[in-house]
Amino acid sequence: MTVLDVANLTKIYGDACGECVDNTGPSVGDNQCPVCGSVVACADVDFQLHDGEVLGIVGESGSGKSSLAEMLALDLDATAGDARYHAYDGNMLSADYQARHELQNQHVGMVHQHVQDGLELSFSGGGNVAEKLLAAGWRHYGDIRDRVESLFRETEVPVSRMDDATETYSGGMQRRIQIAKAIANDPGLVVLDEPTTGLDVSVQARVLDMFRGLQREQDVATIVVSHDLDVIRLLADRTLVMRHGRVIETGLTDRIMEDPHHEYTQTLINSVI
Amino acid sequence: MTDGRSVVPDAESVDDLLDGVADDGLAGYNYAYLDEHTKREVRRATLKAIALPGHQVPFASREMPLARGWGTGGIQTSLSLLGPEDAFKVIDQGSDESVNAANIRRLASRTADVETTTDATDASVIQTRHRIPEEVLDDDQILVLQVPITDPLRRVDGSDDANRRRHAHKNYSKMWVALYENVVEYGEIKLSSRYPVLVDDRYLMDPSPIPRWDVPKLDDADNLCLFAAGREARIYAVPPHTEVEPLAFKDRQFQVERFPDQACANCGSEDTFLTEVETDDGDRRYACNDTSFCEKRRANPDLSKAHHRDGNDHAWGPATDPSVPDGPTENSEGGERE
Ligand SMILES: Nc1ncnc2c1ncn2[C@@H]1O[C@H](COP(=O)(O)OP(=O)(O)O)[C@@H](O)[C@H]1O
Ligand SMILES: [Mg+2]
Ligand SMILES: [Zn+2]
């Protein structure tokens, strides 16, 4: 089953002149329109995401990954494009506030690159996760506690820390709390933006292992965005390579890693090895 | 547009103003102190507030001869409602006798020519700070509550812009998290006042700093309740027979204050909101907070809170309404942790 079908997804920051997309991209070597100065964060992105699949989006900093992720998590307005989500009737990018909140609460979980975009640091860790349940209408305190506790176990955060303020958590724990929050209502789609950036290498590996286990167990369709090829290699079944706001190569992750077609992808992979 | 102050250019306080009117009564002042334009503006906001129960409606709050935050919103609302036929009662935390209550009452009596009363059953308009009377209000009475902080969401987010968006979309999950954290900390919901309520299943509302004891009285009341904030220039309303539901969990219910084994030291009542008072010899005793009802109970200990109404079974908060759950005592931790 196709969980998500995205066509022509575009984000332009600034007052677009109409020529922005033609004036930017890999062929030009820039994402800023020379005529009007607008930034084409991403343009004409097409892909499909299937049941249980993990799609990786890789590219250097500024290539448009976060803009893409935030539009799909309905946190950022798209300039143009169409995104069909299996449980929503119509283009979810043009959902009104009410429908958007419903989608975010029940269907699309997001793990933000910057923790303050994803968590209320003054709330307890448990409170942050509980918010998702409360937003979805949970009104039984005991049930909420039980659910939060089991989400803490699933994401391997010590249950003893559940009632401590989130700002006292380590970076790794905060990332796990975001994941717990993202999956709290059994969403059909999870979007992870740079899930390991800013974490110690040893912590990175454990967060990724935890998420991989969780993802396989729950079979949830996932989009993982990273500038780190190792993260993509570990998690993604299929990968999009982005540069200057465009997808320049698409394929199975193994194929892309072993036999990159695009010259840029080759440099990207060679520079890591 | 007429400035509200222009009618009494020299008045800097209620006392000044009252000195000015002491001799010549209404001469030189507009009826009910405010100019007609201001009164119309307040009435318009009031009508809009009644049409959208629990929704905060902005109004052009005027300078009044007392500092904002001292009931200026309530005064403007009362003065725009009062006519010469009205009987006006003013209470400050249950007492008719506070300086502020007495000043507001005198201002209304001298500029609007209204009767004043301390009897809640006689008043057609009751202005109050932080209490709802113990006696059941009727459908021909209006309660005007003074409000310091209008938005219940300010507890969880200081941004009024973000909060307005939340109200527009009935997005109250942040408030629910605050209640969740409250239960985590205390085992029960422990908010002493300004208890958040959902009005007509639509708008989250701050009922003003009334005790929890008074919150159930707002639900399906016969009378109109108006809430007015001068400093924040907002009016909101709970029209008669509107559903008002305190936020709570299914397994952590809203509870009112309890005073186990305590009775009013003055009248012996056990079904009223009591406050602790210290006597001259340092003893601590409980006494009715609603002083005018306490006086009636002293004369008649069996007087029902609905004595003036047909039938005695009016639901009016604790001890009159079986659906209002008793809370644990004020100083106990109560409830058990999960
Ligand atoms: N709010 C914004 N306003 C203007 N430009 C932005 C904004 N956010 C991102 N950009 C620009 O859009 C481009 C893509 O950014 P982003 O989506 O964050 O890429 P990535 O996540 O791959 O680093 C960059 O050139 C960035 O500077
Ligand atoms: Mg990014
Ligand atoms: Zn008494």
pLDDT of A203-215, one tens digit each? 999 999 999 999 9
Q: How far is the CA of A67 from the centre of ligand 1 (A)?
A: 6
pLDDT at B7: 45
pLDDT tens digit sequence for A238-264: 999 999 999 999 999 999 999 999 999
pTM of the model: 0.88
pLDDT at B156: 92
A25-50: average pLDDT:
96
Judged against a pLDDT cut of 90, whether residue B334 lies above it is answered with: no
Q: Which of B230, B264, B317, B327 is catalytic?
A: B264
Q: A-contacting residues of B 252-311, CB under 8 Å? A: 252
CB of A13 shorter than 6 A to ligand 1:
yes
B225 tagged catalytic = no
Does domain A1-86+188-273 sit in CATH 2.60.40.180? no
ipTM of the complex: 0.90
Using the beta-carbon criterion (under 8 Å), do A142 and B173 form an inter-chain contact?
no
Q: How far is the CA of A170 from the centre of ligand 2 (A)?
A: 21
Distance from the A105 Cα atom to the nearest Cα atom in chain B, whole angstroms: 11
pLDDT tens digit sequence for A6-17: 999 999 999 999
Average pLDDT over all residues of chain A: 95
Q: Lowest-confidence range among A93-97, A198-202, B286-290?
A: A198-202
Q: Give the pLDDT band of residue B5 (cuts 50, 70, 90).
A: very low
Using the beta-carbon criterion (under 8 Å), do B180 and A142 form an inter-chain contact?
no
pLDDT at B131: 97
CB of A39 shorter than 6 A to ligand 1:
yes
Using the beta-carbon criterion (under 8 Å), do B181 and A124 form an inter-chain contact?
yes
Q: Which position has the token pair 């918010």? A: A131
Q: Which residue of A has its CA nearest to B171?
A: A135
Judged against a pLDDT cut of 60, whether residue B24 lies above it is answered with: no
Using the beta-carbon criterion (under 8 Å), do B181 and A141 form an inter-chain contact?
no
Distance from the A96 Cα atom to the nearest Cα atom in chain B, whole angstroms: 11
Domain boundaries defined on chain A: 1-86+188-273, 119-186
B151-178: average pLDDT:
95
